[in-house]
């Protein structure tokens, strides 16, 4: 489908025609034949000079092999990491060029492409491509429908600042509608709002207490922890891991996870919940684990190991109690929790 004077959209890819020609992104598995056929029908006897991969996820790059088989002289352009990934993923020789940030590619006939490196949106090898004269921005997954890029809010914020400075007349994503006019500002506002929401969450010192308690003793410990934190001015959300609805675990400043010990293991419901911890967003955030047990007591240690492996920062060793809490154990848990609260607030 022709979307402007010299740009054609083919699925999630775009064919740009100047004095030379460039295909921006390719097709997912199963779409490569239709892609090559469409490119051929548009170019006819012309050659394809460049294949630009804004990033190398298979749904964007799988069609590369079919394109290179049809146009073996085409030069493949991607970031340094992208070129590496393409070589590892696809066993075919191709002419290559590593895109440098802000580098220009002159296609001729007033068509000039600029490469802007945007790492981690949504892959480490990502970039966007900007056509200077028409103000067209080819964004791949950025501004695409259904794409969640907020795993790396710092990178999103940096990219928005850089891209907003451009004179953009059209945003052409891999998925979803082409954006023009007021819709471009709405898209920037949407992502900017997500960044602002994340920044607000960072400011608010919030703690999630997540637990499972078979006979009530671990729940008693959770209640004690909650009361101490709230008395210190910490905002607390407490929920049982067996409940039907769970908050987004990655929006909290810290996690406190509790479990009993069952057949030398932790409660499966808590372990499943902790599998939702995003190792990027929650990296270095503090936690501690706790629990009541009768015999061996491995449960809290297992949760501790899980969170360490996900990159969170242990505040202490697991705090455990044998069966119900004695008065001494309760006082020790209160002191321990107060220290944790002071650590969170400071």
Query: Which residue ranges make up each domain of the chain?
Result: 2-200, 205-341
Report pLDDT for 201.
Answer: 81
Report pLDDT for 340.
Answer: 97
Among residues 266, 272, 270, which one has the least CA distance to residue 302?
266
Q: 71-106 pLDDT, tens per residue?
A: 999 999 999 999 999 999 998 899 999 999 999 999
Describe the crossing of helices 217-231 and 327-345 by its angle, rounded to 10 degrees: 40
CA 47 – CA 37 distance, rounded (Å): 14
Q: The domain 205-341: what is its CATH number?
A: 3.40.50.360
Mean pLDDT rounded to a whole number for the chain: 94
Report pLDDT for 337.
Answer: 97
Mean pLDDT to the nearest integer, 21-46: 96
pLDDT band for position 244 (cuts 50, 70, 90): confident
Among residues 10, 82, 85, 28, which one has the least CA distance to residue 53?
82
pLDDT band for position 200 (cuts 50, 70, 90): confident
Mean pLDDT to the nearest integer, 106-117: 97
Cβ count near 317 (within 10 Å): 11
Q: 252-290 pLDDT, tens per residue?
A: 999 999 999 999 999 999 999 999 999 999 999 999 999
pLDDT band for position 197 (cuts 50, 70, 90): confident
Q: 132-143 pLDDT, tens per residue?
A: 999 999 999 888
Q: The domain 2-200: what is its CATH number?
A: 3.60.15.10
Is 37 in a helix, a strand, or coil?
Answer: helix
Lowest mean pLDDT among 49-53, 98-102, 248-252: 248-252
Report the C-alpha dihedral over residues 89, 93, 94, 99, rounded to 10 degrees: 50
Q: Does residue 168 have a pLDDT over 90? A: yes
**CA of 20: how far to CAs of 36, 69, 110, 271, in Å?**
17, 19, 11, 55
Cβ count near 13 (within 10 Å): 24
In degrees, to the nearest 5, what angle opens at C-alpha 17 toward C-alphas 12 and 19? 155
Lowest mean pLDDT among 12-16, 76-80, 241-245: 241-245
Is 45 in a helix, a strand, or coil?
Answer: coil
Report pLDDT for 199.
Answer: 87
Place of tokens 């210190």: 232
Place of tokens 């990027």: 280
pLDDT band for position 146 (cuts 50, 70, 90): low
Q: Is 269 exposed, middle or buried (0-12, 13-18, 19+ CB in 10 A)?
A: middle
Listed in sequence order, the residues at least 6 apart from 57 whose beta carbon sits closer than 8 Å to its beta carbon are: 122, 123, 141
Comparing 290 with 199, the larger pLDDT belongs to 290
Among residues 278, 280, 277, 298, which one has the least CA distance to residue 289?
298
In degrees, to the nearest 5, what angle opens at C-alpha 255 toward C-alphas 250 and 256? 155
Percent of the chain at pLDDT above 70? 99
In degrees, to the nearest 5, what angle opens at C-alpha 325 toward C-alphas 324 and 327? 140
Mean pLDDT to the nearest integer, 207-227: 96
Q: Does residue 147 have a pLDDT over 70? A: no
Report pLDDT for 92.
Answer: 86
Report pLDDT for 205.
Answer: 87
Is 69 in a helix, a strand, or coil?
Answer: helix
Lowest mean pLDDT among 14-18, 123-127, 146-150, 193-197: 146-150
């Amino acid at each position: 489908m022709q979307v402007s004077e010299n740009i054609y959209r083919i699925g999630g890819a775009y064919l740009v025609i100047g004095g030379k020609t460039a295909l921006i992104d390719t097709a997912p598995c199963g779409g490569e034949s239709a892609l090559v056929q469409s490119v051929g029908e548009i170019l006819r006897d012309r050659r394809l000079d460049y294949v630009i991969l804004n990033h190398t996820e298979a749904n964007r790059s799988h069609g590369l092999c079919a394109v290179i088989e049809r146009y073996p002289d085409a030069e493949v352009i991607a970031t340094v990491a992208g070129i590496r990934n393409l070589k590892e993923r696809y066993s075919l020789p191709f002419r290559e060029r590593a895109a440098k940030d802000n580098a220009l590619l002159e296609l001729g006939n007033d068509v000039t492409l600029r490469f802007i490196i945007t790492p981690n949106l949504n892959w480490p090898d990502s970039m966007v491509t900007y056509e200077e004269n028409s103000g067209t921005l080819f964004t791949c997954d950025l501004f695409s429908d259904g794409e969640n890029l907020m795993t790396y809010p710092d990178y999103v914020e940096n990219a928005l600042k850089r891209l907003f400075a451009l004179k953009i007349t059209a945003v052409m994503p891999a998925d979803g509608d082409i954006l023009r006019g007021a819709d471009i500002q709405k898209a920037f506002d949407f992502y900017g709002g997500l960044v602002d929401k994340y920044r607000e969450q960072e400011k608010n010192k919030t703690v999630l207490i997540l637990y499972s308690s078979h006979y009530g003793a671990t729940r008693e410990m959770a209640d004690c922890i909650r009361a101490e934190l709230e008395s210190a001015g910490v905002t607390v959300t407490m929920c049982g891991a067996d409940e039907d609805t769970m908050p987004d675990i990655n929006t909290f400043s810290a996690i406190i996870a509790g479990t009993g010990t069952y057949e030398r293991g932790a409660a499966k419901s808590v372990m499943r919940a902790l599998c939702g911890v995003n190792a990027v967003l929650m990296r270095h955030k503090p936690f501690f684990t706790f629990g009541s047990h009768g015999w061996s007591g491995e449960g809290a240690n297992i949760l501790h190991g899980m969170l360490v492996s996900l990159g969170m920062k242990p505040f202490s060793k697991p705090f455990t109690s044998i069966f119900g809490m004695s008065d001494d154990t309760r006082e020790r848990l209160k002191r321990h929790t107060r220290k944790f609260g002071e650590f969170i607030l400071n």
